[in-house]
């Protein structure tokens, strides 16, 4: 197994709606494997999903579209309202779209960003409605992005 196999497998299980397997795999990770590796996997998945959702014909979606998505995502469940910080969600999304500089993340709590992006990944992936082969291809892309980011 490579350094991020367990983290990628955990996210794959979550997105495939195999929740018990996801929890089991996450439970096998050390704090460092979660805080560094799994966080990197979530960030890579968020990057890929936000790019797919909000870039059309090479152009990023408008601020209004991002705000509308965040509001709709937060409105899906009470848990989403509590977990998704709207300002952090908008900053993260607009950063991925190239609309904000790196310092836009200054002052953003890492734990809040992680929780927000994690739930948005689950929401955007559910909206994609991946079949098995599509999910496998997506996870391969996430693995590649994660490995690049950890070099």
pLDDT of residue 1: 45
pLDDT of residue 151: 81
Q: How far is CA 48 from the centre of its chain?
A: 8
Tens digits of residue pLDDT in 80-113: 999 999 999 999 999 999 999 989 989 899 999 9
- Reduced to 3 states (helix: H, G, I; strand: E, B; else coil), residue 54 is helix
> Which residues are CB-contacts of 52 (< 8 A; sequence separation ≥ 6)?
124, 128
- Give CA separation, 84 vs 32, 120, 147, in Å: 23, 8, 26
pLDDT of residue 2: 61
Residue 34 burial class via C-beta count within 10 angstroms: exposed 0-12, middle 13-18, buried 19 and up: middle
Strands (DSSP E) found in the chain: 55-56, 59-60
β partners of residue 56: 59
pLDDT of residue 150: 83
- Boundaries of domain holding 20: 5-149
CA–CA separation, 45 and 32 (whole Å):
19
pTM (two decimals): 0.94
Number of domains in the chain: 1
- The segments of the chain whose pLDDT lies below 70 read 1-2
CA–CA separation, 14 and 20 (whole Å):
9
């Amino acid at each position: 197994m490579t350094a991020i196999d367990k983290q990628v497998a955990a996210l794959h299980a979550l997105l495939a709606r195999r929740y018990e397997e996801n929890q089991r795999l996450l439970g096998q990770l050390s704090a460092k494997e979660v805080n560094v590796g799994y966080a990197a996997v979530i960030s890579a998945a968020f990057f890929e999903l936000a790019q797919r959702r909000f870039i059309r014909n090479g152009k990023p979606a408008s601020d209004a579209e991002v705000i509308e998505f965040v509001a709709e995502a937060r409105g899906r469940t009470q848990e989403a309202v509590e977990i998704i910080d709207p300002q952090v969600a908008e900053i993260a999304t607009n950063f991925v779209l190239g609309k904000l500089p790196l310092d836009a993340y200054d002052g953003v709590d890492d734990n809040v960003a992680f929780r927000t992006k994690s739930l948005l990944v689950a929401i955007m992936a559910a909206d994609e409605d991946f079949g098995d082969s599509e999910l496998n291809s997506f996870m391969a892309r996430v693995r590649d992005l994660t490995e690049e980011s950890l070099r």
